[in-house]
Structures are given as structure tokens and as C-alpha cells.
Amino acid sequence: MQVRPAVAAAFESLIADIYVRHDGLAGRARELIRQATADGDQRHADLGRLVLAELDNRGGRVADGVRQARELLTSSEDRVVLAHAHAVVAGGLWRAGDNAEAVRHAYPANRMLEDGDPLTLRVDHAIILALQVNDQRIGGISHGEFEAAQQLADACGRPALMLANLNNWAWCSYTHGDLDSASALVGRMRAHSEQAGEPLNASCADTVARILLETGRPREATLVIEEAIARAAPTDSDAIPAALITLADIQRRDGNVGTAMQTLARCREIAERDRLPDVDALALRMLAGCHAELGDFQAAYQEMVDFHEAWTVRRSEQSEVMARVAHAQYAVDEAHRNTELFREMAERDALTGLWNRRRSDAQLAAVLAAGRPAGVALLDLDHFKLINDTWTHAVGDVVLCRVADILRSLGGHAGRHGGEEFILVLDAALPDAAATCEAARAAVAAYDWEAVAPGLRVTTSIGLTSLRPDDDVHSVVRRADEHLYAAKRAGRDRVVSGP
């Protein structure tokens, strides 16, 4: 099968244009599917279907978008399709409010792509990962993921992607209290927009206006947000009503409380029409503040009551969406239970992508049956509970994924044994296996954990043993475990090995 350059270019344009405006994109995606199918190009036909799924996500139809992407996760064997399906699932789950689960899909979406894959797609996945890692991050923004995404976006040269990453970067900087970085990033956004002749979409304009307001430039902020509301293209269903909330905040701070209330009423009309309960609840909360400023405390109280009721309803609706997503996933899993891909997924750890304990036990049994020299190591992250308790479980999940990446790079069989414990099965005699384990220990200790969370430090203790002729799976793991505990007792962050 030969991929026509025009088909590949059409797909890359769709990915970039999702960040610009959605008019006509569904029709273009369907035409891409038709052309690719006629050519026997299954990859681009499936990628076109994922564009439709992403449009569902951004149009407020998250359950449908995630369901379509997950169907391809279990039916396709194409690495690029699987990577993009993970990205679409991540985007849908993030919009449904399940950020922790979204990040678990954003990581493989980013890792599975290679240097020769479409650059536009690599940028898209890098943007998704950077946003989701930082959106609900505790302890300050991590700029590394955004910087990596921006380097790819600049190399790609598509203004929409450059602006999208700068927008997310600026917004996360602002929400984490780093107003200086946010202001500098907004300056870069506006310069890129002007140089490229690419107007800011509604979401970008909302970010610019919000940060202009917070840095003492309300008049400039008003011009930006009013222009966006009047002319900018929305790239998410809530983009225009969210911009109206920003405009109302500018008006309220300027003393025009009555005008702000009119703007919020307009926002609520759109939210009701388009079924956007999150935005409606935020507008209600701001209305309560407006009534209080006017001295109408009874109305302010009623608005706050309405806000809490709306927020409760939103949480319930969000739970229903997640239940529908889970139900769809169950149906897909049942439909593909006997496929080769499903069997492999059943042997993969969902978070790290490493082999799970069942597969590791099978690997050990195979090595024992072969009778060749091998080393078996158990690795345990030191004080991992303290990491979860201090920096949250979301940070703990990132730590597990980064350690998994380190172990995967060593060669041999790497698996997640359970919790914060990993297993390595190395096709090497004890001295060479010990050197590999020491390299793993040093790599974990030397990793830039500060970029994940300020003050974070991660080390690992490792117990290593070699196979004996009379070993079974349980005996060799038990012996490695004994050496692991010896490493813990000796002070942690070390390798203890023995036959």
C-alpha cells in the first residue's frame, strides 16, 4: 500500500486546523476516510475517524468521542493509529474532568510516536501531554514539557500549533501564580499571531485578555476579548461563553456591575442552549458577587444557592459521562476479547505500559525452562508513600511512568510487580546484571525530578539474584525480595546482590 502525499498532507492539515476553527472539518475528515479507504490506506482511514472523534470531544460529546477512539485502541495494530487513539482518549477524559486517567493516556500517545512520524501529529501529542501534566499539578508549573512541545511546534512551522501550546503554557503559568511567565508568554502569542497573520481563536484571546487584566491593562483586555467574542472562531464548545465570563469580570472590576450582569445573562443563555453546565455554574457564582456589590444580599444569597445546586448537578452529569465512557469501554473490550492485541493489553500495566505480574511470571518460567544464565532483580521506590502524601497521587503516577521509561531503556524484561515495585529479568550472569542494576539505580537518582515537582527526589533500592538449577518462579523472586529488604535495611538507594 502506497500512501498518496495528498492524503497524508490532508490529515496533517486537519490536525492543525482543529486548533483554528471547526467549520467544515467533519466533511473534510469524511472525505479523507473515503479517499484513504479507496486507496487501501487503512492508517489514514482510521486517523480520519479519530479526527471525527476529536471533534466530538471538543463539541461536548465526550462519551461518543472516547468510545470511537477506544474502539480503534482495541481493533488497530498500527502504532501511529494507536498513539493517536490514546491522544484522543486523553483529550476526552480531560474534558470530562478525569485528569489523572487522561495523563495515563497522554504518556503513551507521546512515547509511541517516532522521529519519522508526521511532525504535526508529534506536536499535537506533545501539546496534549504538556497541558495535562500541568493542568492540575501541585507545587508549581513544570515548564519542561511545554518547552519540548514548543520546540516541535516551531520546527513544524504551523502557526496554529505554536499558538495553541503558548496559550496552554500561559494559562497554566497564570493558574499556578506565575504571572511574570504568563505575561511573557502572552507577548509571544501576540507576536506570533501578528507575524503569521493567524488571528487568535476564542480560547487564545480569552487567555490573553485574562492576563492583560491581571497585569493592569483592563482597556487592552477589553479590546481583545470583545474582538474575540465578535469575530474569533471557537475551537471548543465553551470558548465563547468562557470569554463572556472574562469580559464580565473586566466590566465588574471597572465598576460597570450592571453591564457585567447583562454579559453574564448572555453567557447563561448560550450555556443553556449548548448544554454547558460548568460555564453556567461559574456565571451564577459571578452573578452572586455582582448582587453583593450592589448591596442586594438576598439576591446574592439566592445566586450562591443556585450556584451550588448547579455545581452539584454538574458533578452528577460528569459522573454520568464517565459511567457512559466506562460502559462503552466494557462493550468494546467484550467485542475484542479474543484478539491478539487484547491479549497483549491484558498483560500490560495500564499506567506504565510495562508488562504486568502475570506476564513477568510467564517470562521467568520461560527463562527457567531454557536453563541459561539470568539475573532477576526487584526494584522498590524508596519512601513512595511519602511522595504520594506530599505531592499527590498524580505526581506519584508521573514518577512511576518516568521510572518505567528508565527501566524500559535497559533491555531485558521490565515489569511492574505491583504498587511501586518493579521486576527486571536480565539475560546476563550476575556481575553483568549487577552493573545493569547499578545503572538503573543511578539513573533514577540522577533524574531531574525537580522538573516534575519542586523539592521532589526519588531513589530506588534493588535486590538482585541469579537463577539456580533448582529454582522455580516463586523461589527466585523470594530470594530477590530478601536482597531487596537487605538494601532497604542498609540505608536504601543501593543494590544488594547475591546468588
CA angle 172, 103, 445 (to 5 degrees): 90
Contacts of 476 (CB under 8 A, 6+ apart): 364, 368, 376, 465, 467, 468
78 occurs within a structural domain: yes
**pLDDT above 90 coverage of the chain, percent:** 52
Going across the sheet that includes 495-498, the strands are 413-418, 421-426, 375-381, 460-466, 495-498
Dihedral sign, CA of 319, 320, 321, 325? positive
**What is the average per-residue pLDDT within 123-147?**
84
CA distance 85 to 266: 36
Element (H, E) at 441: helix 430-446
Average pLDDT, the chain: 86
pLDDT in tens, 25-38: 999 999 999 999 99
51 occurs within a structural domain: yes
Compare 136 and 289 and report the one with higher pLDDT.
289
203 occurs within a structural domain: no
pLDDT in tens, 291-334: 777 776 666 556 555 555 555 555 554 444 444 554 454 454 44
Residue where one domain finishes, among candidates 116, 136, 156 = 136
423 occurs within a structural domain: yes
Position 305 scores a pLDDT of: 52
Position 246 scores a pLDDT of: 92
Place of cell 460528569: 318
Q: For residue 341, is pLDDT > 70?
A: no
Compare 164 and 334 and report the one with higher pLDDT.
164
Number of structural domains the chain divides into: 2
CATH number where 463 lies: 3.30.70.270
153 occurs within a structural domain: no
Q: Write out the DSSP string of 177-238.
A: T-HHHHHHHHHHHHHHHHHHT----HHHHHHHHHHHHHTT-HHHHHHHHHHHHHHPPPSSTT
pLDDT in tens, 414-460: 999 988 999 999 989 999 999 999 999 999 999 999 988 999 999 99
247 occurs within a structural domain: no
Which of 184-198, 306-320, 485-499 shows the lowest per-residue confidence on average (mean pLDDT)? Answer: 306-320
Which residues form the domain of 467?
347-498
67 occurs within a structural domain: yes
Q: For residue 115, is pLDDT > 60?
A: yes
Element (H, E) at 271: helix 257-273
For residue 307, count other CB atoms closer than 10 A to its CB: 19
Compare 400 and 298 and report the one with higher pLDDT.
400
Position 59 scores a pLDDT of: 87
Residue where one domain finishes, among candidates 103, 136, 169 = 136
Residue where one domain finishes, among candidates 136, 168, 203 = 136
Cβ burial of 198 (10 Å; 0-12, 13-18, 19+) is: middle
**pLDDT above 70 coverage of the chain, percent:** 88
**What is the average per-residue pLDDT within 43-49?**
95
Contacts of 370 (CB under 8 A, 6+ apart): none
Position 25 scores a pLDDT of: 93
Q: For residue 342, is pLDDT > 70?
A: no
262 occurs within a structural domain: no
